[in-house]
Structure 1
Amino acid sequence: MTRPLLISGVLLLAGVVHLLPLLGVLGAARLEQLYGLRMEDPNLLLLMRHRALLFGLLGLLLATAAFKPAWQGLALLAAWASVLGFVLLAPSGLLPALQRVWWIDVALLPFLALASWAYLSAPRTS
């Protein structure tokens, strides 16, 4: 597999993973299904819907960067911040739905490492 193809494939994969929570914008029922948490507090619902929107924007950036090499460095950095941030911030004893999210992020880490290596070791043109 060529470096550009590897980078693009990982960015597409990370983009899809980050686009999935966008469905949470639709409301409490979808968020409860995604995360296994009750969304009874309207303030929590607002925050989680906003989080879903931001994940959608991040997913769009990642997926778009798969086809725009000039964006790939920024997109990889954003993916690392999102994925590693959640993995490191998550406490033990998560609810099953959140534990699934944690494992998905853990599974993305080696792919991000490979894509980052491919990106950083690729020859640069001025």
Structure 2
Amino acid sequence: MRRTRLGQGLLVLAGLINILPGVGALSVSSAESAYGIEIAGADLQVLMRHRAVLLALIGVVCVVGAFRPGWRPAAVFGSGISFGSFLIVVLANTPVNPELTRVAWIDVVALVILGGGAVLARERRPG
């Protein structure tokens, strides 16, 4: 039971890490400071805001998945793809600015948290 609760807590934390960039949907300036880039022009602002909404949605699914075992596989998969794909894109396009490197390291930590949460929150089958 304690193991499952710790796993749920880690899944919630991973979800919150994905939800946090959702603030960029409300404020372009917060996204600019987080990523260290200028989001110039309405087109790029729309794309970045949409990205922020999708990240927040993935985060919400992960938080819900922490408490609803039926949602957990999709939540872990979606969050893993979210964190991992950013890392792949950064690695494929280095060098990037220091803020993007910081975000990539946050995603590395988030993947470890997500993996730990997925393992610990696994429901044991009797027998």
Give the TM-score normalised by structure 2: 0.85
Deviation at 1:30, TM superposition (A): 1.9
Q: What's the secondary structure of 1:93's corresponding residue?
A: coil
| Corresponding residue of 2:72 | 72
| Range with bigger deviation, 13-22 or 26-35 | 26-35
Give the structure 2 partner of residue 29 of structure 1. Answer: 29
CA shift, 1:72, in A, is 0.9
Q: Is the deviation greater in 2-11 or in 66-75?
A: 2-11
Find the residue that maps to 1:69 and give its secondary structure.
coil
What is the aligned partner in structure 2 of residue 123 from structure 1? 124
* Residue in 2 that maps onto 1:97: 99
**Alpha-carbon distance, 1:2 to partner:** 3.7
Cα deviation, 1:75-116, whole Å, max 9, x if unaligned, reads 111111111111112132221211111000111222223233
* 2:108 paired residue among 106, 109, 125: 106
Runs of 5+ unmatched residues, structure 2? none
After TM superposition, the structure 1 = structure 2 runs for residues 77-92 of structure 1, keeping only pairs within 5 Å, are 77-90=77-90, 91-92=93-94
Q: Which residue of 1 aligns with 2:61?
A: 61
Instruction: Calculate percent identity across the aligned residue pairs.
Output: 35
Contact 1:73 1:119 in 2 (8 A): no
Query: How large is the RMSD of aligned CA atoms in angstroms?
Result: 1.9
Q: Deviations over 1:10-38 (max 9, x none)?
A: 21111110111111112321221121111
Which amino acid in structure 2 is aligned with residue 88 of structure 1?
A: I
Q: Which 5+ residue runs of structure 1 have no aligned equivalent? A: none
Cα pair distance change 1:113/1:28, threshold 3 Å: closer
Relative contact order (C-alpha < 8 Å, sep 6+): which is higher? 2
Give the AA of the match of 2:108. Answer: V
Matched residue, 2:16: 16
20-29 or 75-84: bigger deviation: 20-29
Instruction: Tell me what 1:6 maps to.
Output: 6
